[in-house]
A and B are shown apart, each in its own frame.
Chain A
Amino acid sequence: MISILMALVAGVIFSLGLMISGMANPAKVQNFLDVAGQWDPSLAFVMIGAIGVGAVAFRIAGKRSKPLVADTFSLPTRTDIDKPLLAGAAIFGIGWGLAGYCPGPAIASISIGATTTFFFVISMLAGMILAKFTKRLL
């Protein structure tokens, strides 16, 4: 049960981080991508803050044999650069640019209540299911 609590608290902290950093605002994300227009570099500062803390955590994890409340680390092991990685990232980026939403901010924003968010999340889930079945065929 402690692991469930940890996941819940991590979710709340993640969401607070999104709200405080302004990343729950799609216009702010789109303005980061709008280098030729109303450029807002804030997203780069979010990345610096998150990666700064994250890099320390991964260094610590590298020195430990197991996590605190689980049996093993389940971390990605692949290092090959394949077509689905690049095609998926390219497709993801187009959708991200169109709406200014990626999965975290979109889900965290459901409780803010914009109708648009709701539509985005429903179609995002449909896209994920479609991709999961597609990957089985690859």
Chain B
Amino acid sequence: MPATEFTPVASLLGGALIGLSAAMFLLTLGRIAGISGIVAKLLPPVNDKKGIPLSMAFIAGLLLGAPVLALLTGQHPEQSVVSNIWLVVIAGLLVGFGSILGNGCTSGHGVCGISRFSVRSLLATATFMFTGAVTVYLVRHGVSA
């Protein structure tokens, strides 16, 4: 497994930008910048037609981040992805299903929910951090590793 460098300053700064985006979404549009919710608005069965154009615009913005960064700084984000495609497909299903069943993901519960002191979000965040850590432990340090 690739080691990564601890980047407290860049991560704090990038985190503040994520907070700024959530602040903007909240104070201008009155909505929670939870990515799973924003994405799921576009998927069947559709039940909030009004939110569709905003969801599409936000997702377009997400897709533009990497090109904008390259344009501004000439930098491309470093990535080291899991190579086992079946593992990735299963992970995607679990992330998609779990985030909608639990009404939120890292941004909706983790960032926005905790920012507004929601107990539901705090518990959800603690839960997914715990199962995430157990999963990584089993994959990297379990019997098969």
Contacts and interface: CB of A to CB of B under 8 A. Distances in A.
B13 A49 contact: yes
Contacts of B19: 17, 49-54, 57
B interface, over-half SS: helix
Interface in B5-40: 5-8, 10-33, 35-36, 39-40
Interface in B43-91: 43-45, 53-55, 57-69, 76-83, 85, 87-91
Interface of B: 1-8, 10-33, 35-36, 39-40, 43-45, 53-55, 57-69, 76-83, 85, 87-103, 105-107, 109-120, 123-125, 127-137, 139-141
Interface size band for A: 35 or more
Interface of A: 3-28, 30-31, 33-38, 40-43, 45-58, 60-61, 64, 66-76, 78-81, 84-104, 106-112, 114-117, 119-136
A110 B62 CA distance: 9
Q: Sort A-B residue pairs by CB-CB distance and give the 10 closest, nearest first.
A: A11-B61, A15-B65, A88-B102, A21-B14, A49-B15, A127-B96, A53-B19, A95-B94, A92-B98, A97-B135
A99 B30 CA distance: 32
Nearest to B94: A95
A128 B10 CA distance: 31
Given A50-B19, A87-B102, A22 B14 contact: yes
Given A25-B80, A132-B44, A61 B135 contact: no
Most B CB atoms within 10 A — which of A16, A60, A119? A16
A63 to B, nearest CB: 11
Contacts of A119: 85, 88-89, 92
A83 B10 CA distance: 37
A122 B66 CA distance: 20
A17 B15 contact: yes
Given A67-B27, A98-B90, A128-B36, A46 B18 contact: yes
Contacts of B111: 47, 50-51, 54
A4 B101 CA distance: 28
Contact of A98 (B55, B91, B116): B91
A93 B6 contact: no
Contacts of B92: 95, 99, 101, 106, 119-124, 126-127
A53 B20 contact: yes
A92 B12 contact: no
B136 to A, nearest CB: 4
B11 A15 contact: no
